[in-house]
């Protein structure tokens, strides 16, 4: 979304996570963590979504996506940190159980560890906790609670403001938008639509932005690529 908001030209290189292309020697040379995305700009590598967004905002300042005021900028970064540490992690649990788990069918636990969890530079413990049979009900419900708490916190911030940081559309909004879209795609929009009207209105505004429609294009969502299993 950040690239699109700044109206930059870029070339996509699709990495097939289903075939572990992100764990090949070729990809690990450019991203030792074995995760996506990776930005290549002027033959230099930048890793991690939020870091990439801040880098783009620094290098291409003509369409600023960070506040000039130091306090507002700090507030934006606090939101970005929160998004990374809470909803980003929580969204993985329903995503894996509902969309990715079928590709592990037929593996016993040892095969799963040998072929999936133990080969990952990052997130070994996440995969080990999931196991070949997926996350249990307790883990799944805990993830939904984290998402609900995120929605509640966002709703409070949005009660008197159109965006998360005062009246300014910033990277704080951009970072969390794909996570909320993922939860909607998985069928959990009721987490915010039933109790959090300010956040519901925020998401409606986000979805109208051309950059959102460019980044989250038709065909990119899990429900368009996988047959989704029931959540619980």
- pLDDT tens for 216-225 read 999 899 999 8
According to the model, what pLDDT value does residue 231 have? 64
- pLDDT of res. 126: 84
For the segment 110-114, the average pLDDT, to the nearest whole number, is 85
- Mean per-residue pLDDT, 128-142: 90
pLDDT > 70 fraction of the chain, expressed in percent and rounded: 99
Q: Given this model, what pLDDT does residue 132 score?
A: 84
C-beta neighbour count of 31 within 10 angstroms: 20
pLDDT score, position 232 = 63
Of the candidates 163, 198, 199, which has an alpha carbon nearest to the alpha carbon of residue 76?
163
Spatial separation of the C-alpha atoms in residues 44 and 39, rounded to whole Å:
8
What was the pLDDT predicted at 17? 83
Cα–Cα distance measured from residue 198 to residue 158, given in angstroms and rounded to the nearest whole number: 6
The pLDDT tens digits for 154-205 are 999 999 999 999 899 999 999 999 999 999 999 999 999 999 999 999 999 9
Q: How much is the average pLDDT of 25-51?
A: 94
- By C-alpha distance, which of 157, 169, 182 is closest to 211? 169
Q: Mean pLDDT, to the nearest integer, of 130-136?
A: 88
Average pLDDT of the chain is 92
Average pLDDT (64-74) is 96
Q: Which domains does the chain have, with CATH numbers?
A: 2-216 (1.20.1050.10)
């Amino acid at each position: 979304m950040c690239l699109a908001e700044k109206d930059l030209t870029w070339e996509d290189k699709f990495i097939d996570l289903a075939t572990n292309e992100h764990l090949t020697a070729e990809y690990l040379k450019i991203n030792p963590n074995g995760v996506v995305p990776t930005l290549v700009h002027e033959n230099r590598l930048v890793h991690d979504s939020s870091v990439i967004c801040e880098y783009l905002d620094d290098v291409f300042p003509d369409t600023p996506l960070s506040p000039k005021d130091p306090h507002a900028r700090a507030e934006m970064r606090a939101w970005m940190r929160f998004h990374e540490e809470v909803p980003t992690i929580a969204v993985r649990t329903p995503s894996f159980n509902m969309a990715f788990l079928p590709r592990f069918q037929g593996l016993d636990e040892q095969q799963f560890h040998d072929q999936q969890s133990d080969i990952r530079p990052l997130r070994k413990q996440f995969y080990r906790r999931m196991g070949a049979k997926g996350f249990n009900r307790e883990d799944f419900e805990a993830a939904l609670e984290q998402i609900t708490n995120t929605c509640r916190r966002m709703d409070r911030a949005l009660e008197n403001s159109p965006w998360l940081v005062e009246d300014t559309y910033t990277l704080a909004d951009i970072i969390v938008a794909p996570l909320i879209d993922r939860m909607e795609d998985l069928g959990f929009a009721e987490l915010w639509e039933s109790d959090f009207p300010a956040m519901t209105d925020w998401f409606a505004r986000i979805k109208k932005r051309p950059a959102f429609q460019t980044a989250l294009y038709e065909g990119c969502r899990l429900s368009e690529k996988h047959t989704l299993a029931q959540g619980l």
